[in-house]
Amino acid sequence: MSDVAAFTPAPAAPRRARRLMIQGTSSDVGKSLLVAGLCRAFANRGLIVRPFKAQNMSNNAAVTVDADVPEQGSAPAAGISAEPVRGEIGRAQALQARACRAPRSVHMNPVLLKPESDVDCQVVLRGRVLGRASAAAYQTLKPALLPAVLDSLERLSQEADLVLIEGAGSGAEAYLRAQDISNMGLAEAADLPVLLVGDESRGGVSAAVLGHRLLWTESERARVGGVLVNKFRGDPAVFAPAAATISAATGWPVLGLVRWFDGAARLPQEDSLALDLAARAVAKPPRPGEAKPLTIAVLRTPRIANADDLDPLAAEPGVRVVWVQPGEPVPRAADVVVIAGSKATRADLDFVRAQGWQHDLHAHVRQGGRVVGLCAGFQMLGRVVRDPQGIEGAPGESAGLGLLELETTIGGDKRLLDLDAVDRVSGERVTGYEMHMGRTQGAALAQPWLRLVDADGESGEDADLSARIAPLGSHERAEGAVSADGRVMGSYVHGLFAADGFRRHWLAQMRGEAVEHGAGQGERTTPASAYEARVDAALDAFAAQLAEDLDLDTLWALAR
């Protein structure tokens, strides 16, 4: 594990921002979405708002570009890095930044934990990989991370009018209270006022709130300015006795009931819990007269990462996304099978084999179906995945699925890059990002999926990229691979399905429809299929609902 103690602190300057922390009574009470909605609501009032989450655990991440990230492990005199630094933050903070209409920054999520197994994770500090740590080892590491966490919070506080700070999980989880940097430990260290959020949809919200008061110290209780009851359905008058009980027992006022927001399904989901809830949802059969939907089956691997790549497909009319759970075969009704990203490629590849899914995939292709691999899923499609340095687990290699003539070696620096690309079949433009470690080589790269131009304006002389792609021409670079029959394809680019024109043409291709190169780029995109517009519309709708459900002036007054 790299040295984390030496950081250049933020330049001394008066703090302009008010700050307010939102803690929850448990995981999945809706903290992330609530912060995103409040970010948009206050931004709509003309305020400069920034989100912050000290520590997030997620394998879904987004690329950042910062100009003021202190060099890791350097002496304070080294100062700030001369060039903009690419990093990564959790997808929830990326959505919150979007809600603020602000560029993503590593300071919004200074500590990102990316699980690699049930007992250890990759630790990312201010966008850069520190190394792997077991759960026990990470607990001892947290005090050394706190100065960087506080420094990042201070940097955001100097550029904003309001910083909305999201806690992690339960604010009073007893076994995580020691050396806490996510909830009350952070609130005490940074002198933050706190809102406590409970989830009414699960039942027991009163007991959950009272339990937190019992577990917190007197100093911590004094930080709580009120309670929000989230995901409420029904008549608010019915909840009035419970609100009175909560206030009488805790001394904290119930500041509002936030109604259940149906539009949450239109927003990117961050973690595996949300995926599992989505997987349990029963897909509705087509109505009489409706066309048969295109069925896309996604393998539910244990360390799945950046599964929000599939959100634009799930939101598309006429498309049915189903999750293939462990112990289930790949459904015969599937038109396309997707293998998404992974934080532990070889472990998930071995899991795919243990489930027998590799046999299903080969049969699926033989019978005319299609298979798509994204990032780690792309690596799995090849002949072998090697990890000689043990970056994602024990050193060694695993046999791939053998659907593309490729070999991958995991190693080198993590590649973090925003990209522009063009689909070589339709000519449609794609904007996405790369986030992976490893180099892929092989004959399949001679038939690439995309023609690549970096969004950052790079000319294409990147040595790492050129080592893993097949050249197309003097002004082109290739990305990904497509099998000779067009039924197997893979790419390192995340976010490509969010591009409306590309997604429409790709879905037509998956349905077996003819796709003309460069024809009608985006002209047939309807409001129902304009993914990015749908996300922003959902954020605006939730912000408007929060302005009705809550007194935003009261929350502003509570912040300090």
SS3 55: strand
> What confidence score (pLDDT) does residue 109 get?
98
**How does residue 491 score in pLDDT terms, banded at 50, 70 and 90?**
very high
User: What integer is the mean pLDDT of 452-462?
Assistant: 49
User: What integer is the mean pLDDT of 123-144?
Assistant: 93
> What confidence score (pLDDT) does residue 438 get?
86
Q: What is the pLDDT of residues 514-547, one digit of tens each?
A: 666 555 444 444 444 589 999 999 999 999 999 9
Tell me the average pLDDT of the chain: 88
Q: Which of 107, 212, 436, 494 is catalytic?
A: 494
> What confidence score (pLDDT) does residue 276 get?
52
Residue 289 has pLDDT above 80, yes or no: no
User: What integer is the mean pLDDT of 306-327?
Assistant: 94
Contact between residue 52 and residue 104 where contact means Cβ atoms under 8 Å apart: no
> What confidence score (pLDDT) does residue 13 get?
67
Residue 203 has pLDDT above 50, yes or no: yes
> What confidence score (pLDDT) does residue 419 get?
87
Active site residue 375: yes
Residue 37 has pLDDT above 70, yes or no: yes
Residue 49 has pLDDT above 90, yes or no: yes
Q: Please tell me the pTM assigned to this model.
A: 0.86
Residue 458 has pLDDT above 50, yes or no: no
Q: What is the pLDDT of residues 9-21, one digit of tens each?
A: 666 667 689 999 9
Residue 272 has pLDDT above 90, yes or no: no
User: What integer is the mean pLDDT of 322-337?
Assistant: 96
CA 376/CA 344 separation, integer angstroms: 8
**How does residue 275 score in pLDDT terms, banded at 50, 70 and 90?**
low
Provide the residue ranges of all domains of the chain, joining segments of one domain with +. Answer: 18-192, 272-535
Residue 143 has pLDDT above 50, yes or no: yes
**37 vs 285: which has the higher pLDDT:** 37
Residue 377: both structure tokens together: 């899923």
> What confidence score (pLDDT) does residue 271 get?
57
**73 vs 169: which has the higher pLDDT:** 169
> What confidence score (pLDDT) does residue 472 get?
44
Active site residue 39: no
Lowest model confidence (mean pLDDT) among 284-288, 291-295, 492-496, 548-552: 284-288
CA 241/CA 288 separation, integer angstroms: 47
Q: What are phi and psi of 468, to 5 degrees?
A: -115, 5
SS3 33: helix
CA 97/CA 307 separation, integer angstroms: 19
User: What integer is the mean pLDDT of 17-41?
Assistant: 97
> What confidence score (pLDDT) does residue 73 get?
44
Same fold, 18-192 and 272-535: yes
Tell me the H-state helices in 167-310: 184-190, 205-215, 218-221, 236-250, 272-280
CA 388/CA 393 separation, integer angstroms: 10
Residue 282 has pLDDT above 80, yes or no: no
Task: Answer whether CATH 3.40.50.300 is correct for domain 18-192.
Answer: yes
Residue 87 has pLDDT above 50, yes or no: yes
- Portion of the chain with pLDDT greater than 70, in percent: 84
User: What integer is the mean pLDDT of 449-455?
Assistant: 76
User: What integer is the mean pLDDT of 152-168?
Assistant: 97
Q: Which of 100, 375, 436, 505 is catalytic?
A: 375
Lowest model confidence (mean pLDDT) among 15-19, 297-301, 344-348: 15-19
Look up the CATH number of domain 272-535: 3.40.50.880
Residue 509 has pLDDT above 90, yes or no: yes
**How does residue 265 score in pLDDT terms, banded at 50, 70 and 90?**
confident
**How does residue 229 score in pLDDT terms, banded at 50, 70 and 90?**
very high
Nearest to 430 by CA among 492, 481, 516: 492
Residue 466 has pLDDT above 50, yes or no: no
**271 vs 109: which has the higher pLDDT:** 109
Q: For residue 181, which amino acid is it?
A: I
Residue with tokens 């909830």: 183
Tell me the H-state helices in 118-226: 135-157, 184-190, 205-215, 218-221
Q: What are phi and psi of 375, to 5 degrees?
A: 55, -110
**How does residue 291 score in pLDDT terms, banded at 50, 70 and 90?**
confident
> What confidence score (pLDDT) does residue 197 get?
98
Lowest model confidence (mean pLDDT) among 44-58, 84-98, 466-480: 466-480
User: What integer is the mean pLDDT of 186-195?
Assistant: 98
CA–centroid distance for 336 within its chain: 23
User: What integer is the mean pLDDT of 482-490?
Assistant: 97
Contact between residue 301 and residue 348 where contact means Cβ atoms under 8 Å apart: yes
CB-based contacts of 7-10 (< 8 A; 24+ apart in sequence)? 7/70, 7/72, 7/76, 7/147, 7/148, 7/151, 8/70, 8/71, 8/74, 8/76, 8/78, 8/79, 8/80, 9/76, 9/147, 9/151, 9/154, 10/151, 10/154, 10/155, 10/158
Residue 135 has pLDDT above 50, yes or no: yes
**How does residue 81 score in pLDDT terms, banded at 50, 70 and 90?**
very low
User: What integer is the mean pLDDT of 538-559?
Assistant: 98
Lowest model confidence (mean pLDDT) among 29-33, 59-63, 242-246: 59-63
Residue 332 has pLDDT above 90, yes or no: yes
Q: What is the pLDDT of residues 402-429, one digit of tens each?
A: 999 999 999 888 888 888 999 988 899 9
Residue 298 has pLDDT above 60, yes or no: yes
CA 405/CA 560 separation, integer angstroms: 58
- Portion of the chain with pLDDT greater than 90, in percent: 73
